[in-house]
Chains A and B, each alone.
Chain A
Amino acid sequence: MSVLKFFTRRSSAPAARERLQLLLAHERAVFGRTDLVAQLKDEILAVIAKHIAIDPEKVRIKTDTRDTLATLEVDIEIRTPNGGLKLAG
């Protein structure tokens, strides 16, 4: 080990933190935290509502896992008088 390397020894905790954050983001999607769906719903709604007028009651979000495949299904009904997309703002 070089003298320089010895003196500039990097701490290992930030690496642990980073690895955990990446890993858990993946595992939570696979195994599911039940509040994940509620949280996703709120956040997706907020993003869409910035651009499109939507009825929060008409949004369905479903997660599913089969074997190694995890799916996220988002079903949003957009109602406008003329049937087309209506952008807010």
Chain B
Amino acid sequence: MAEVLVVTSGKGGVGKTTSTAALGAALAQTGQSVVVIDFDVGLRNLDLVMGAERRVVYDLINVVQGDANLNQALIKDKRVESLSLLPASQTRDKDALTAEGVERVINELKGKFDWIICDSPAGIERGAYFAMRHADLAVIVTNPEVSSVRDSDRIIGLLDSKTEKAERGETMEKLLLLTRYDPVRAERGDMLKVDDVLEILSIPLLGIIPESPEVLKASNLGSPVTLANPISAPSRAYLDAARRLRGETIEMTVPSEKKRFFGNLFGRRAA
């Protein structure tokens, strides 16, 4: 049975799209079939992070409106066979998505994939609502910073009231993905610690993704970070998180880059 997962946060720029691509690729790397859907209508960028921007012909809105079928719109990843992308369109018409259309697309995808990962736009408007509407499970992407934690708390409230699962009287499973974490600054007391955020939001932890230049390098190359550099610190954190999603118990750590002195001196290379 397909698992519908929404990657959401309320606040923009915290790492939802990065995390959608990385978790999607990581799950696909373990052999699961995965589709990542961009719900950020008008500001699509999951296609760029995935390196598929030049292969977009049809998009989510075309499928929702019946102008294309799913097979025409889905873009198969060139690196991992079991990974696909359903891109957002660049239309400025925010009403282009409809509740019935989105529901039909999600139901159709359920027959084709193990995981359906919905990349939510920022905010608490229509797009964010459609992205979470059919979810079985929510990954709340949060930075250790006051406004991000506050927005995550709002989103948790919406997940508990505005989703199909909530309306059926069931509890939505919500997992915290703490991203852009800097253990050194947290230790110095200049950044909220993991335990602070966990205590305030009181949802279980899926993973801690360290702040790392590897993320920007990967997006420059148009590749999920777990594919661009699987042994980098953020990749190891995402790969662990993906295994936790599959039910494995893995010790929680904040992976860090190994200091390779000679590697850094002589092996310097631009991305």
Q: Write the B192-222 contact mask toward A (1 if CB under 8 angstroms, else 0).
A: 1100100010000000000000000000000
Kindly state whether residue B150 has any CB partner on chain A within 8 Å.
yes
Which of the 9-residue segments B67-75, B151-159, B233-241 touches chain A? B151-159
In the complex, A34→B192 CA distance in Å?
26
Q: Write the A23-40 contact mask toward B (1 if CB under 8 angstroms, else 0).
A: 110011001111100000
Count, chain A residues at interface, CB 8 A: 18
Residue from A12, A13, A14, A24 in contact with B200 in the complex, judged by beta carbons closer than 8 Å:
A24
In the complex, A20→B156 CA distance in Å?
15
Q: Which B residues are in CB contact (< 8 Å) with A12?
A: 189-190
Q: Which A residues are in CB contact (< 8 Å) with B145?
A: 16
Q: Is the CB of A20 within 8 A of B160?
A: no
Kindly state whether residue B106 has any CB partner on chain A within 8 Å.
no
Q: Which B residues are in CB contact (< 8 Å) with A24?
A: 150, 153, 200
Kindly state whether residue B191 has any CB partner on chain A within 8 Å.
yes
Count, chain B residues at interface, CB 8 A: 21
Residue from B146, B160, B171, B188 in contact with A11 in the complex, judged by beta carbons closer than 8 Å:
B188
Kindly state whether residue B149 has any CB partner on chain A within 8 Å.
yes
Instruction: Enumerate A29-77 residues with CB–CB distance to B below 8 Å.
Output: 31-35
Q: Is the CB of A17 within 8 A of B196?
A: yes
Residue from B157, B166, B191 in contact with A28 in the complex, judged by beta carbons closer than 8 Å:
B157
In the complex, A23→B192 CA distance in Å?
16
In the complex, A27→B171 CA distance in Å?
21
Kindly state whether residue B80 has any CB partner on chain A within 8 Å.
no
Q: Which B residues are in CB contact (< 8 Å) with A32?
A: 157, 161
Q: Which A residues are in CB contact (< 8 Å) with B156?
A: 33
Q: Which residue of A lies closest to B196 (CB)?
A: A17
A sample of 8 more A-B contacts (CB under 8 A), given A11-B190, A13-B186, A32-B157, is A11-B188, A13-B189, A13-B193, A16-B146, A20-B150, A23-B150, A27-B150, A32-B161
Closest 3 CB pairs of A and B: A11-B189, A34-B160, A33-B157
